[in-house]
Chain A
Amino acid sequence: MTLLSILGVLSSAIFSGTSLLYTTLGEVIDERAGIVNLGLEGVLLVSASSGFAVTYLSGNPYLGILVSILAGGLMNMILGYLVITRKANQLASGLALMFFGFGLSALIGKSFVGDKIHSLTRFLLPGLKNLPLLYTSLFKFDILIYLVIPVAILVWWLLYRTRWGLGVRAVGENADTAFASGRNPHLIRYQALFVGGMLVGLGAAHLSIAYTMNWTEYMTAGRGFIAVALVIFSKWHPLRAIVGALVFSGAVAFQLLLQSSGVKVSPFLLDTIPYILTLVVLIAWGGNRKHSAPASLGRVYQGSE
């Protein structure tokens, strides 16, 4: 096991973890406003397929990313209509959104399976130029990877340092109180869902446009559900989400490392490590979990007439 192979694994962990972190941040905003979005899988798929399609057709990855972001926001609006305006059950609506995403993304991506695209350029951070070529090739990242930590900080700033964020958190804790203090819970929840959806779209854009650079049906393979778990893991906090995504991708990387170093363990069992690790951490933190969850998460705000 050489340093190079370890760095290689680390690099691939960063690549696969980025979309996960964007998605988790999006879900943090949704859930802070009191809405569980179980349909992340579907949102990711629709964003990934539409972004990929636009990138392929236009040849411009930035246009593709923009479309992904918009698609994510719009997909979340469907959920918003169901759970905010029609007051439907959040878990069931989320799963319905997931099925919708399975179908719609298959339809959008149908004619793009196997196509190649011009992706984002990958570049080194200045200061790393002196490293040997073998190493620099591993640490050339695209702009979305460099932006992910700043975006996490931005989300933290939005939620904890702005009036809008205060409104979102207030609605997530107690929509009645928020209403009594002059806020519009419905509007705020829609806004939070839209912003959250845009972040999920960004994650999807990184997945299909920058990382895998192709489209296959059901390419997200459970990322949406992992993000839902990571939100709880990070206790609904955007900065802790960074840690969560790191731990999860680190576990994935560790598993890749074990495989590459020839340890005779079934790759299927190694694949379960990240999930089991997440579960173990949830259990370890379980005791004080209740105090950090938004109080009216999953509840329907009935309005105040």
Chain B
Amino acid sequence: MSQPTETVTHFPVFQYKAIQSTVRYLLMILFALLMFGLILLISGKDPIQSYKDIFTSTLGSSYGFSEVIVAMIPMLITALAVALPSRVGLINVGGEGQLYIGAAFATFGALTFSNLPGWFLLPLMVLLGMLGGALWAFIPGYLKSIGLVNETITTLLLNSVAPKIIGFLIFGFWHSPMDTVKTANFVAAAKLPSFFGTRIHLGLIFGLILLIIFWLVMKYTRWGLEMRAIGSNPQAAKRNGLPLSKYLVVIMCIGGAIAGLAGMVQVSGFYGTLFLNFSMSLGFMGFMICWLAGGEPLGIILMSFVVAVITTGGNLLQLTRDLPYAVINILLAFTLFIVLARPSFFKGKTP
């Protein structure tokens, strides 16, 4: 009873060897598949055939695999947009909103400077997207740093505002002559190049490079050390002379910039146009992935891959099994529940 038994939760660090934890996660996912199969069975669908469909549409063919990678790209980036602020104790639930605003800024670039060559336009759009996300994240970051409002609640509120601003811009100014709910297709110079005849685009490289930079910064630089210090005890860090509020604002803005990049990558690399509600909870998925991965770069890649397999499989389930696309969220949620609950029979030696 002498020790305080209540602790603030931190993102857990990977404690096991990579293989051991991979096996553990795979077992959990198998369990989730079993439970989702049960739901499919109850609703009168053939679970085995459904899983066959999901498998062939994702891992079973090279095209399917490439589609999984495509779906993974924005998740990698939005997860990082959560992971970085979490290192200084900031909870960024606003990836969704930052992504929208980033996409809007990038679209502004694509539509306004459409006669510029790609080597100039694309970097400009990247910068604009990051600027948009950073500005959107500046609001919660600043309010947090002066101790006014908690960033969790401001980011959540701003999530609801951002898609409406997109709607305003599309309906008011940007919609194409034929269609009122989306912009005209971007010119070729405003689209990220894709590889190997698939839809995998340059965004994948962006995501991977950012993850590597994140890992290097956290491990080898003074900033990483200072961020860890702030994350574990902000008041102590402040007393030791670290510029706490500056760190909070800047890190939040960088997190927002990363989420904004995810928005830019989606409109420029994936859709080639901007339309209403294009994100479909990518920002929230990023939050989940980051948390499940313990904020670690490798874990983020692994979990993004798993989630991407599930959501990509959902598309096919909708086409062939006559189920609403949203139903795949059940499988996603089961996977999340099981990883969150960490049932004891998967546990190994926990500390």
Contact = CB atoms under 8 A, between A and B. Distances in A.
Contacts of B337: 78, 82, 93, 96, 100
Given A103-B331, A269-B168, A228 B156 contact: yes
A195 B177 CA distance: 52
B111 interface: no
Contacts of B4: 176
A276 interface: yes
Which 7 residue pairs of A and B lie closest in terms of their CB atoms, listed nearest first? A103-B329, A100-B333, A103-B330, A286-B148, A106-B326, A96-B336, A268-B168
B333 A103 contact: yes
B266 interface: no
Interface stretch (A7-15, A59-67, A142-150, A277-285): A277-285
A140 interface: no
A114 interface: no
A246 interface: no
Nearest to B290: A92
A102 B39 CA distance: 15
Given A92-B287, A104-B330, A272 B165 contact: yes
Given A229-B153, A299-B7, A299-B9, 13 more contacts: A82-B337, A89-B340, A95-B288, A99-B336, A102-B281, A103-B333, A107-B43, A176-B4, A269-B168, A272-B164, A279-B149, A296-B6, A304-B1
B123 interface: no
A5 interface: no
- Identify whether the interface residues of B are mostly helix, strand, loop, or mixed: helix
A226 B164 CA distance: 15
Interface of B: 1, 4-9, 39, 43, 91, 93, 143, 147-150, 152-154, 156-161, 164-165, 167-168, 171-172, 281, 284, 287-288, 291-292, 323-334, 336-337, 340-342
- Identify whether the interface residues of A are mostly helix, strand, loop, or mixed: helix
Given A82-B341, A96-B337, A269-B168, A106 B329 contact: yes
B329 A92 contact: no
B7 A269 contact: no
Given A86-B340, A96-B333, A96-B337, A102 B326 contact: yes
A92 B160 contact: no
Contacts of B148: 283, 286-287
A299 to B, nearest CB: 6
Nearest to A231: B153
A115 interface: no
A234 B43 CA distance: 41
Contacts of B167: 266, 268, 271
Contacts of B161: 272, 275-276
27 contacts: A81-B341, A82-B337, A82-B341, A89-B291, A92-B292, A92-B340, A95-B287, A96-B333, A96-B337, A99-B284, A102-B326, A106-B326, A107-B39, A107-B323, A107-B324, A176-B4, A218-B326, A225-B159, A228-B153, A232-B153, A269-B168, A272-B161, A275-B157, A279-B149, A282-B157, A283-B143, A289-B150
B147 to A, nearest CB: 8
Nearest to A179: B5
Nearest to A104: B330
B89 to A, nearest CB: 12
A276 B91 CA distance: 20
Interface of A: 38, 78, 81-82, 86, 88-93, 95-100, 102-107, 110, 174-176, 180, 217-218, 222, 225-226, 228-229, 232, 266, 268-269, 271-272, 275-276, 278-279, 282-283, 286-287, 289, 296, 298-304
Nearest to A109: B324
Contacts of A287: 148
A176 B6 contact: yes
Contacts of A286: 143, 147-149
Contacts of B8: 298-299
Contacts of B172: 266, 268
Contacts of A296: 6
A289 B149 contact: yes
Contacts of B150: 232, 289
B300 to A, nearest CB: 14
Contacts of A92: 287-288, 291-292, 336, 340
A110 B330 contact: no
A99 B332 CA distance: 7
A266 B171 contact: yes
A271 B163 CA distance: 10
B252 to A, nearest CB: 16
Contacts of A271: 164, 167
Contacts of B326: 102-103, 105-106, 217-218
Most buried by B among A99, A228, A276: A99
Most buried by A among B143, B158, B291, B323: B291
B333 A99 contact: yes
Nearest to A85: B341
A299 B143 contact: no
B160 A279 contact: no
Contacts of A98: 284
A86 B342 contact: yes
A225 B330 contact: no
Nearest to A296: B6
Nearest to B159: A225
B332 A275 contact: no
B157 A278 contact: yes
A106 B327 contact: yes
A299 B10 CA distance: 10
A90 B158 CA distance: 20
A234 to B, nearest CB: 13
A86 B340 CA distance: 8
A277 B85 CA distance: 26
A223 to B, nearest CB: 10
Contact of B93 (A78, A91, A279, A302): A91
